[in-house]
């Protein structure tokens, strides 16, 4: 799964603070997406899949950064790539 996304910040933490946490955030995102793939959660239509990805990545963001830092995870594009 390849995902391009953008993060909308609430303003509680500045972009520099979020950038410092990016290694942990990226690790949480990869772990979340890998778990979803292992469960077969990507084998559904695109709109349902994208909504699930957004919710899961928002939850991962809240877990790593705190509950009021990322306003929304915006999925720019999500697609499956053969391995």
**∠19-23-29 over CA atoms, to 5°?**
105
Q: Other CB atoms closer than 10 Å to residue 3's CB: what's the count?
A: 17
Q: Other CB atoms closer than 10 Å to residue 75's CB: what's the count?
A: 16
Task: Say if pTM beats, i.e. exceeds, 0.85.
Answer: yes
Q: What is the pLDDT of residues 32-42, one digit of tens each?
A: 999 998 898 88
Q: What is the pLDDT of residues 32-68, one digit of tens each?
A: 999 998 898 888 888 888 899 999 999 999 999 999 9
């Amino acid at each position: 799964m390849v995902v391009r996304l953008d993060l909308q910040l609430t303003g509680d933490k500045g972009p520099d603070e979020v950038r410092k946490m990016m290694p942990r955030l990226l690790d949480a995102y990869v772990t979340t997406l890998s778990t979803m793939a292992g469960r077969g959660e990507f084998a559904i239509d695109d709109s349902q899949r994208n909504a699930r990805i957004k919710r899961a990545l928002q939850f991962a963001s809240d877990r790593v950064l705190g509950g009021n830092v990322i306003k929304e995870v915006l999925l720019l594009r999500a697609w499956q790539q053969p391995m």
